[in-house]
Amino acid sequence: DAMVIQNPRYQVTQFGKPVTLSCSQTLNHNVMYWYQQKSSQAPKLLFHYYDKDFNNEADTPDNFQSRRPNTSFCFLDIRSPGLGDAAMYLCATSSSNEQFFGPGTRLTVL
């Protein structure tokens, strides 16, 4: 089945240690998104790619970066994770009127 895959599902990192979360898709969609969802809160958009064009949300911290080497893959890099960055990170794709979400990666920062 066509889908959005996120690896790993659970990630533990140490305070200040860079971490990369991965997302891949088999839907061949041109738009990919990264959301952050903290406990008991709604998902919050960090940035998105329209093909190779990167679009950062105004309030996304500089600590968060992203790469999209090709249509299928997108990465979220957190350069120096703080305790406040512990959250579920959701990847999504879309082609027109619907977003397809992956299962998320739960990040723990020790």
Partner 1 sequence: DAKTTQPNSMESNEEEPVHLPCNHSTISGTDYIHWYRQLPSQGPEYVIHGLTSNVNNRMASLAIAEDRKSSTLILHRATLRDAAVYYCILIWGGSNYKLTFGKGTLLTVNP
Q: Which residues bind partner 1 (CB under 8 A)?
A: 4, 31, 33, 42-45, 48, 50, 55, 90, 92, 94, 96-104
Minimum CB distance to partner 1 smaller for 15 or for 54: 54
Mention every residue, 6+ apart, whose C-beta is less than 8 A from residue 54. Answer: 47, 66, 68
Supply the minimum distance, in Å, between the C-beta of residue 16 and partner 1: 28
Supply the minimum distance, in Å, between the C-beta of residue 73 and partner 1: 18
Supply the minimum distance, in Å, between the C-beta of residue 55 and partner 1: 7
Amino acid at site 52: K
Q: Of 25, 30, 3, 23, whose CA–CA distance to 77 is shortest?
A: 23
Minimum CB distance to partner 1 smaller for 15 or for 50: 50
One-character DSSP codes across 41-80: S--EEEEEEETTEEEE-TT--TTEEEE-SSSSEEEEEESS
Minimum CB distance to partner 1 smaller for 62 or for 98: 98
SS3 11: strand
Supply the minimum distance, in Å, between the C-beta of residue 79 and partner 1: 24
